[in-house]
Amino acid sequence: MPEPSILITGGAGYIGSHTARQLGAAGRRIVTLDNLSTGFREAVLYGDLIEGDTGDQELVSHLLRDYNVDTVLHFAAHTIVPESVEKPLKYYANNTCNTRNLLECCANAGVRHFVFSSTAAVYGIPADSPVCAEDTPTAPINPYGSSKLMSEQMIRDLGKASDMRHVILRYFNVAGSDPEGRIGQSTKNATLLIKVAAEAAVGKRDTLYIFGTDFPTPDGTGVRDYIHVEDLAMAHVDALRYLEGGGDSATLNVGYGHGYSVREVLDTVQRVHGAPLRILERERRAGDPPALIAAAERIRETLGWTPRFDDLEAIAAHSIAWERKQLESPWTE
C-alpha cells in the first residue's frame, strides 16, 4: 500500500494550483485530477497530474485506491457567474452532479477528510448588512451560487451518515498570484476586477469599466472583500491540518473582514502600475450585490488561520507581475 496521498481536484486551476504548490513544498504527497478545461498543465508543480473528470466514477475509484487517498481537496468547478445564468445545467452538471459522484467514490473508498471550495455567492444579496457570517441565511441569486450550495448540503448530509469529516470554505473575492511568480491566474476571458485591471496595466486591454456608480456605498461603486490567493491557499492547508488533528466538520468564510470599492481597487492598481488607465463608467451588472464582506472571525478561531497578504497593493503588484510574465511566456495548455 503506498503512503496516503491528498487528491486535489482542479489542481491545475487558479486556487487549486496555489494550494497544491504549498502542500508540495511542505513535502505532502499529492495527486491532481483535472480535465484541463480551464486549468493548465504548467500550473502543476508537484505530484502526478491525472487528466479526467471528477464525475468519472471508474477513474476516480481507481485513483483513490491506487494513490491510497485519505483526503480530498475539491476545487474543480465552473466559476463564472454570468455564464451560470446563461447555461445553468452546465453548472449543475459539473458543480453539483460531479460533486455527488465524487462524494460517492469517497464514501466507498473510506476517504476521511474532505475540503470543499464554496463561495460567498451562497449568500446572494444579504438583507440587513453587507457583512456575512456563516449563519447568515443562504439565498443564492445565480445558478453558480446554487450549484455550490447544493454541494455543501450533500457534503453535510454525507458527514452525518458516515465518518467523513469536512471543512467547507466560502471564498470571498480571490485575487493576486504566487508572490514568487511561479504560477498565477491564467483564465481566458477573465471577468474578475483585479485580473482585468492587471491585464489593462500590461496593455492586454485598452479600457476598464466600472459596473455601477449608484450603489448605496460610500463612493457609489461595489464593495468586496478581496483576499490574496496565497492566504486562501493557506486556509486549505490549515483546514487539512485541522481535520487531521481530529477537528469537527466546519463551514468557514475566507475573507479579511473588510472591503474595498471598485474605485479604490482601480486607484490602487493605477498607483502600483505608475500610470493612469482608461476607465469608463457603465450600468450595474445584473445580479451584483452592492457590498459583500466576510465576517472573518470564525476561520481564525477554528483553524488558527493567520493571513500574510492583507494588503491591496501587494495583491495588485503580484497580479500585474504575473500578467507581465504571461506576456513574455504565456501558458498554452
Nearer of residues 5 and 117 to ligand UD1, judged by Cβ: 117
Nearer of residues 56 and 209 to ligand UD1, judged by Cβ: 209
Nearer of residues 208 and 312 to ligand UD1, judged by Cβ: 208
Taking CB under 6 A as the criterion, the residue among 18, 224, 236, 263 binding ligand UD1 is: 224
Give 58's contacts (C-beta < 8 A, 6+ positions apart): none
Taking CB under 6 A as the criterion, the residue among 5, 173, 185, 270 binding ligand UD1 is: 173
Give 292's contacts (C-beta < 8 A, 6+ positions apart): 120, 123, 126, 130, 132, 172, 173, 223, 224, 225, 259
Q: What is the DSSP letter of 188?
A: T
Strands 260-261 and 173-175, by their bridges, are: unpaired
Active site residue 144: yes
18 touches ligand UD1 (CB under 6 A)? no
Nearer of residues 260 and 309 to ligand UD1, judged by Cβ: 260
Taking CB under 6 A as the criterion, the residue among 8, 106, 193, 235 binding ligand UD1 is: 193
Helix (H, G, I), strand (E, B) or coil at 78: coil
How many angstroms separate the CA atoms of 5 and 3, rounded? 6
267 touches ligand UD1 (CB under 6 A)? no
C-alpha 176: how far from chain center:
12
Are 239 and 23 in contact by the 8 Å Cβ rule? The answer is no
Query: Of 14, 91, 144, 171, which is the active-site residue?
Result: 144
Taking CB under 6 A as the criterion, the residue among 8, 121, 131, 243 binding ligand UD1 is: 121
Residues that bind ligand UD1 (CB under 6 A): 79-81, 119-121, 173, 191-193, 196, 208-212, 222, 224, 262, 285, 288-289, 292
Q: Which residues are catalytic?
A: 144
